Structure 1
Amino acid sequence: MDKWLSHPTSLKIISIIVGLLLWAVVHIDPDTSPQTMTTNIDTKTIEASVITPDGLDTKKYVLTAMEPTVVRLDVQGRLTDLLKASSTDDYVVKVDLKGVKPGIQELPLTVDLPKGILLVKMSPRTVTVQIEEILTKPFELQVVTEGKPADGYVLGAASVVSPTDGVQVTLPKDDMSRVGLVTTEVDVEGADKTIVNKKAKVVVYDTDGIEMTNAIISPSTVHVEVKITPPFKKLPLQVRYTGTLPEGLSLVSVKPTIDQVTVYGDQKTLDGLQVYDGVVLDLSKVKQSGSIQAKTESIDGIKSIDPGEVTLEVVVAPNITKTFTDMPIAIEGLASGTTATVRTPADGKFNLTVSGAESVLSALKAEAISIIANVEGLAPGIHEVTLQVDVPSYVQTVLAEGQTLTVSIEIVAEEAAGGTDGEESEEVGGTPTEETPTPTPTPTPATTDGSGNGNSGGNATSGA
Structure 2
Amino acid sequence: MDKWLSHPTALKIISVLLGVLLFAVVHIDPETAPQATVSSVDTSALEAVTIEPIGLDEEKYVLTAMEPTVVRLVVEGSISNLRKNTPLDYVVNVDLTNVKPGIQELPLTLKLPKGIEEVELSPRQVTVQIEEIVSKTFDAQVIIEGQPAEGYVAGTPQVLSEGGNVVGVTLPRDDMDKVGLVAVTMNVEGAVKSVENKKAKIVVYDTEGQEISNAIVQPSTLHVETKITRPYKQVPVQIRYTGTLADNLSLVSVTPEMDQVTVYAEQSVLDTITVYGGAVLDLSKVKQSGTVKVKTTPVDGIEAVNPAELELAVIVEGTTTKRLSNLPITIIGTEDGMTADIASPASGTIDLVIGGAESVLRNVSAEDVTVIAKIDGLEAGTHTIALELELPSYVQPILSEGQTLSATVEILDESASADEQEELEVGGAQTEPPDGDRGDSGSASGGSSGDGETDAASGNGGTSGNAGGALNEARLAASGQSGRVTAA
Question: Same fold by TM-score, threshold 0.5 exceeded?
Answer: yes
CA distance in 2, matches of 1:455, 1:300: 18
CA distance in 2, matches of 1:362, 1:271: 41
CA distance in 2, matches of 1:78, 1:100: 39
- Give the Å deviation of 1:263: 1.2
CA distance in 2, matches of 1:32, 1:80: 26
Structure 1 residues 104, 383: closer, same or farther in 2, change over 3 A? closer
- Give the Å deviation of 1:382: 6.4
CA distance in 1, matches of 2:178, 2:411: 89
When the two structures are aligned, how many residues end up with a matched partner? 424
Structure 1 residues 97, 461: closer, same or farther in 2, change over 3 A? same
Alignment partner, residue 150 of structure 2: 151
- Residue deviations 1:411-461 (CA, integer Å, cap 9, x gap): 475425889xxxxxxxxxxxxxxxxxxxxxxxx897443xx5323336555
CA distance in 1, matches of 2:390, 2:91: 95
Alignment partner, residue 171 of structure 1: 171
- Give the Å deviation of 1:48: 2.4
CA distance in 2, matches of 1:206, 1:109: 35
2:262–2:306 CA contact under 8 A, matched in 1? yes
Deviates most, 407-416 or 350-359? 407-416
Alignment partner, residue 415 of structure 1: 422
Alignment partner, residue 424 of structure 1: none
- Residue deviations 1:358-414 (CA, integer Å, cap 9, x gap): 2211111112112233345556776554332221111122122x3422435264754
Alignment partner, residue 304 of structure 1: 304
Structure 1 residues 94, 332: closer, same or farther in 2, change over 3 A? same
2:339–2:411 CA contact under 8 A, matched in 1? yes
CA distance in 2, matches of 1:412, 1:160: 69
Alignment partner, residue 249 of structure 1: 249
- Give the Å deviation of 1:312: 1.5
Letter in 1 for 2:422: E
CA distance in 2, matches of 1:215, 1:28: 75
Letter in 2 for 1:253: S
Structure 1 residues 26, 318: closer, same or farther in 2, change over 3 A? closer
TM-score normalised to structure 2 length: 0.75
Structure 1 residues 26, 382: closer, same or farther in 2, change over 3 A? closer
1:393–1:446 CA contact under 8 A, matched in 2? no
- Give the Å deviation of 1:338: 6.6
2:165–2:222 CA contact under 8 A, matched in 1? no
Letter in 1 for 2:268: K
Alignment partner, residue 260 of structure 2: 260
Alignment partner, residue 197 of structure 2: 197
SS at match of 2:202: strand
Note the 1:287-366 alignment, pairs <5 A.
287-333=287-333, 337=338, 339-343=340-344, 347-366=347-366
Return the match for 1:454 from 444, 449, 460.
460
Alignment partner, residue 224 of structure 2: 224
Deviates most, 206-215 or 21-30? 21-30
CA distance in 2, matches of 1:123, 1:2: 75
Alignment partner, residue 389 of structure 2: 389
Alignment partner, residue 160 of structure 1: 159
Point out where structure 2 has 5 or more consecutive residues left out of the alignment: 6-13, 413-420, 427-451, 463-480
Alignment partner, residue 438 of structure 1: none
CA distance in 2, matches of 1:155, 1:283: 39
CA distance in 1, matches of 2:318, 2:294: 24
Structure 1 residues 92, 21: closer, same or farther in 2, change over 3 A? closer
SS at match of 1:223: strand
- Residue deviations 1:102-124 (CA, integer Å, cap 9, x gap): 11112222344456655554333
Alignment partner, residue 274 of structure 1: 274
SS at match of 2:261: strand
Deviates most, 173-182 or 331-340? 331-340
CA distance in 2, matches of 1:113, 1:292: 84
CA distance in 2, matches of 1:454, 1:83: 99
- Give the Å deviation of 1:234: 1.6
2:385–2:409 CA contact under 8 A, matched in 1? no
Cα RMSD (Å) = 3.7
1:234–1:261 CA contact under 8 A, matched in 2? yes
SS at match of 1:329: strand
CA distance in 2, matches of 1:165, 1:189: 23
SS at match of 1:415: helix
Structure 1 residues 192, 84: closer, same or farther in 2, change over 3 A? farther
CA distance in 1, matches of 2:396, 2:112: 100
Point out where structure 1 has 5 or more consecutive residues left out of the alignment: 6-16, 420-443
1:396–1:445 CA contact under 8 A, matched in 2? no
Note the 1:102-117 alignment, pairs <5 A.
102-114=101-113
CA distance in 2, matches of 1:367, 1:319: 22
CA distance in 2, matches of 1:286, 1:79: 102
- Give the Å deviation of 1:156: 2.2
CA distance in 1, matches of 2:259, 2:21: 125
Letter in 2 for 1:99: N
CA distance in 2, matches of 1:311, 1:77: 89
- Give the Å deviation of 1:63: 0.8
2:240–2:279 CA contact under 8 A, matched in 1? yes
1:384–1:406 CA contact under 8 A, matched in 2? no
